[in-house]
Amino acid sequence: MTLASGAGGGVHSVELGVVIFFFLIVTLGGFIAVRWKRATSMKSLDEWGLGGRGFGTWVTWFLLGGDLYTAYTFVAVPAAMFATGAVSGFFAVPYTIVVYPLIFIFMPRLWSVSQRRGYVTPADFVRGRYDSRLLALAVALTGIVATMPYIALQLVGIQAVLDTMGIGGTGNAFVRDLPLIVAFAVLAAYTYTSGLRAPALIAFVKDGLIYLVIVVAVVWIGVKIGYGGVFDAAQAKMAKTKGATFIPASSTYWAYGTLAFGSALALFMYPHSVTGVLSSRSRDVIRRNAAILPTYSLMLGLLALLGFAAIAEKTTVIGQDGKPNSQLVVPHLFQQIFPAWFAGVAFAAIAIGALVPAAIMSIAAANLFTRNIYREFLVSDASPEHEARVAKITSLVVKFGALLFVLGMDRQNAINLQLLGGVWILQTIVAIVAGLYTRWLHRWALLVGWAAAIVYGTTVAYHQASATTKHFGSSLAYFPFTHTKVYIAVTGLLLNLVIAIVGTVVLRLVNAPAGTDATESDDYYAEQPSAAVTREAATEIAGG
Amino acid sequence: MSVSDPRDTARRPTRQPLPRSTVALAGLLLVIPLVALAIVPVYARSNPHLWGFPFFYWYQFVWVFVTAAFTYGAYLVVRRARRDSGGR
């Protein structure tokens, strides 16, 4: 059998069996989800794309946890720790800590105004607040373009697991990629029928498995190697590796800090985070979740340390194709330390961990396309039912686009584009977050600031070389006129802000038309409207 | 309770801005973790160790717990203020 050849020496059938078992459970759950939480019909974006806007504290916790902490994170963060240490890997911990106070502060306002005005996407809000189709289009396009490579990277996570189980590498290209194609086709099918309810339900399985695996791994490391030994091994390796850091030194303080804060600000601008937040039932659900979601950050921190544990355990990262690939470090470590059946559970956790965010991201991108491109520029009188139909089809297109991307292009391209995605998405924060508090900034100034920062960030990122690639080698670059490296997205954001403020002053002096604000100050405090009223309104819209 | 009229007085209490002292206390609880993690030069050191963890690593793990507690504290502060003012 061609599948059995390769450096790993054959397919690991026990592991594969366990993974397939969990995949079947999740598939069943994905299709059943359509009946969950009294969905009467899937014929509106509120139902299909936001799960009826009715998720409570626990569902939101699982959904956002499954959404923000993706399979790629689980694979890439330990991989970065394994290869180059703290600055490229461990910053994910402060990043996912500081994001919650920020969500606590900003997101209830976005939730309230969206609830009151029926907004489904962040671009909807920008459209209403600034009365600018162009600015809304900019926000929507940024969201879609930043999300696509992120979906593709989820597939890279699945590939790492498949490769470890002995699938992939050599042989017929179609046979090699078949498992990935099947997994994605099934995912696409139940996302199409069940909408956001599918990943919300599957997230329970995913997170349960992930927590179980992490607890076992953490105990195992403590008993078998001891954490002192783990850190000693890591320190020794980082001291020998060029460009690696065990603990940031004065040259990398700013890099570490700006990566953490820049990524945190970018995270909740991603369409899939906004979708997760808007699907919750009330402002209190969001606030409570800001307090309980750090559980996942604890888990992520422990996972990051697995990269160091792999150094102590001398884990090898040679893939089926015979080339070293640090993305394989966590699956290889699991295979090395766990019995086959439990390694299978761990692999299932990673694979399902890829499906949940991929589903939510494709839904979020579909919502953006439907509301802010299709309805705005193509068919302005689309009914809710029409919108839902367009979004469902878009979610399929988005997923297959991501699949083609991963199968057809170099994996490095997906990673580069995801790096750029972070730089791009952060530039929408000025219009969105400032807009939640003040209408002072002028829509045209915001548009120019956004464009300048996108051009700046893209150009600078393009010129970063690393040992393995000539372009997009790093998300860090020298801050202009200094010798301090900072996160490119943050420099772009500063440029963006300065242009937005100066531009607003100028445009106000010349009395440029500022448009009409469709929101009222009351909207930003609105609590949950009574359930009866919402349902009435929904039937009204659906019926009319 | 009607939602159709934005000037409906019955819903006024829930929409009033929170008292300044509440905002200040909740804000402080939320800002402290941000500051604690922004001061990279202060925590980027290896001693003292704790259970084999260098300071840099355990310090950040500690802030996972503290941030969760402070954020929950901010939630309680906001909720109490809203109850006192007659809102939900």
Q: How confident is the model at residue A16 (pLDDT cuts 50, 70, 90)?
A: confident
Residues in chain A with CB shorter than 8 Å from the CB of B78 are 287
pLDDT computed for residue A500 by the predictor: 92
Alpha carbon distance B88, B73 (integer Å): 18
Encoded amino acid at A196, one letter:
L
Residues in chain B with CB shorter than 8 Å from the CB of A526 are 15
* Position with higher pLDDT, A254 vs A3: A254
Stretch A224-229: mean pLDDT: 80
Q: Which two tokens stand for residue A502?
A: 């100066």
For B5-26, how does the pLDDT look when each residue is reduced to its tens digit (9 = 90+)?
444 444 444 556 677 788 888 8
For A479-507, how does the pLDDT look when each residue is reduced to its tens digit (9 = 90+)?
888 778 888 889 999 999 999 999 899 98
Stretch A518-528: mean pLDDT: 76
Stretch A408-412: mean pLDDT: 70
Out of B3, B30, B65, the one facing A101 most closely (by C-beta) is B30
Out of A97, A522, A533, the one facing B63 most closely (by C-beta) is A97
Alpha carbon distance A182, A480 (integer Å): 47
B5 in any annotated domain: no
Out of A227, A247, A294, the one facing B68 most closely (by C-beta) is A294
For A164, the enclosing helix (H) or strand (E) is: helix A133-164
- Beta carbons of B54 and A231 less than 8 Å apart: yes
Cis amide bond preceding A108, omega within 30: no
* Position with higher pLDDT, A405 vs A216: A216
For A185-206, how does the pLDDT look when each residue is reduced to its tens digit (9 = 90+)?
888 888 888 888 888 888 888 8
Q: Which two tokens stand for residue A346?
A: 């761990």
**pLDDT above 70: residue A65:** yes
For A138-180, how does the pLDDT look when each residue is reduced to its tens digit (9 = 90+)?
999 999 988 888 888 888 888 888 888 877 655 666 667 777 7
A183–chain B nearest CA distance, Å: 34
pLDDT computed for residue A143 by the predictor: 92
For A514, the enclosing helix (H) or strand (E) is: none
Alpha carbon distance B30, B21 (integer Å): 14
A476-478 and A485-487 strand pairing: antiparallel
For B48-76, how does the pLDDT look when each residue is reduced to its tens digit (9 = 90+)?
888 878 888 899 999 999 998 998 988 88
**pLDDT above 50: residue A541:** no
* Position with higher pLDDT, B5 vs A210: A210
Alpha carbon distance A272, A254 (integer Å): 28
pLDDT computed for residue B52 by the predictor: 79
Domain count of the fold of chain B:
1
What does the mean pLDDT of chain A come to? 81
Which range, of A88-92, A272-276, A450-454, B11-15, averages the lowest pLDDT? B11-15
Annotate B7-76 with DSSP letters as a single string: T-GGGHHHHSPPPHHHHHHHHHHHHHHHHHHH-HHHH----S-BTTB-HHHHHHHHHHHHHHHHHHHHHH
**Of A221, A259, A310, A220, the residue nearest A93 (C-alpha):** A259
For A442-470, how does the pLDDT look when each residue is reduced to its tens digit (9 = 90+)?
889 999 999 999 999 988 888 877 777 77
* Position with higher pLDDT, B33 vs A242: B33
B6 in any annotated domain: no
B13 in any annotated domain: no
Q: How confident is the model at residue A533 (pLDDT cuts 50, 70, 90)?
A: very low
Which residues face A478 on adjacent strands?
Answer: A485
* Position with higher pLDDT, A496 vs A519: A496
Out of A226, A247, A301, the one facing B56 most closely (by C-beta) is A247
**Residue B59 dihedral angles phi and psi, to the nearest 5°:** -55, -45
Give the pTM: 0.83
Range of the domain at B29: 18-84
Q: Which two tokens stand for residue A337?
A: 């330390």
Alpha carbon distance A351, A19 (integer Å): 8
Q: Which two tokens stand for residue A418?
A: 């995801």
Domains and CATH numbers, chain A: 2-28+46-536 (1.20.1730.10)
**SS3 category, A210:** helix
A478–chain B nearest CA distance, Å: 18
**pLDDT above 60: residue A531:** no
**pLDDT above 60: residue A90:** yes
For A4-14, how does the pLDDT look when each residue is reduced to its tens digit (9 = 90+)?
333 445 778 78
Encoded amino acid at A331, one letter:
P
Residues in chain A with CB shorter than 8 Å from the CB of B30 are 101, 104-105
B31 in any annotated domain: yes
Q: Which two tokens stand for residue A487?
A: 């996160």
Q: How confident is the model at residue A225 (pLDDT cuts 50, 70, 90)?
A: confident
Mark out the alpha helices in A323-370 (DSSP H runs).
329-337, 340-369
Encoded amino acid at A356, one letter:
V
- Interface with chain B: mutation pick from A227, A265, A285, highest number of B CBs within 10 Å: A227
- Interface with chain B: mutation pick from A87, A104, A528, highest number of B CBs within 10 Å: A104
**pLDDT above 70: residue B87:** no
Q: How far is CA A11 from the centre of its chain?
A: 31
Name the residue in chain A with its Cα closest to that of B38: A257
Q: Which two tokens stand for residue A396?
A: 């399929």
pLDDT computed for residue A392 by the predictor: 85
**Would you give the DSSP letter of residue A318?**
B
- The CA distances from residue A45 to A331, A390, B4, in Å, are 37, 10, 22
Which residues face A245 on adjacent strands?
Answer: A85
For A234-270, how does the pLDDT look when each residue is reduced to its tens digit (9 = 90+)?
888 887 877 788 888 878 888 888 988 988 888 888 9
B44 in any annotated domain: yes
Out of A94, A253, A526, the one facing B60 most closely (by C-beta) is A94
- Beta carbons of A291 and B75 less than 8 Å apart: yes
A vs B, Cβ pairs < 8 A, gives 120
Stretch A98-117: mean pLDDT: 88
The CA R_g of chain B, rounded to the nearest whole Å, is: 20
B11 in any annotated domain: no
Q: Of all residues in chain A, what percent carry a pLDDT higher than 90?
A: 8
A141–chain B nearest CA distance, Å: 30
Annotate A241-291 with DSSP letters as a single string: STT-BSS--GGGHHHHHHHHHHHHHHHTTSHHHHHHHHTBS-HHHHHHHHH
- Interface with chain A: mutation pick from B5, B29, B32, B60, highest number of A CBs within 10 Å: B60
Q: Which residues of B touch A (CB under 8 A)?
A: 1-3, 6, 14-17, 30-31, 33-34, 37-38, 40-41, 44-46, 49, 51-54, 56-57, 60-61, 63-65, 67-72, 74-75, 78-79, 87-88
B8 in any annotated domain: no
| ipTM of the complex, rounded to two decimals | 0.79
Q: How far is CA A110 from the centre of its chain?
A: 19
A25–chain B nearest CA distance, Å: 33
Alpha carbon distance A384, A52 (integer Å): 13
Q: Which two tokens stand for residue B25?
A: 């206390």
Q: How many CA atoms lie within 13 A of A537 on its CB side?
A: 15
pLDDT computed for residue A175 by the predictor: 67
- Beta carbons of B38 and A527 less than 8 Å apart: no
B86–chain A nearest CA distance, Å: 13
B73–chain A nearest CA distance, Å: 9
Question: Can you count the helices (H) and strands (E) in chain A?
Answer: 24, 2
- Helix then strand then coil, % of chain A, to nearest 5: 75, 0, 25
B49 in any annotated domain: yes
Out of B49, B54, B88, the one facing A527 most closely (by C-beta) is B88
Stretch A378-397: mean pLDDT: 84
A374–chain B nearest CA distance, Å: 29
Sign of CA dihedral A485, A487, A489, A494: negative
- Beta carbons of B60 and A97 less than 8 Å apart: yes
Alpha carbon distance A59, A202 (integer Å): 11
pLDDT computed for residue A536 by the predictor: 45
The CA R_g of chain A, rounded to the nearest whole Å, is: 23
pLDDT computed for residue B85 by the predictor: 65
Mark out the alpha helices in A370-487 (DSSP H runs).
384-408, 411-426, 429, 435-437, 443-462
Residues in chain A with CB shorter than 8 Å from the CB of B60 are 90, 93-94, 97, 301
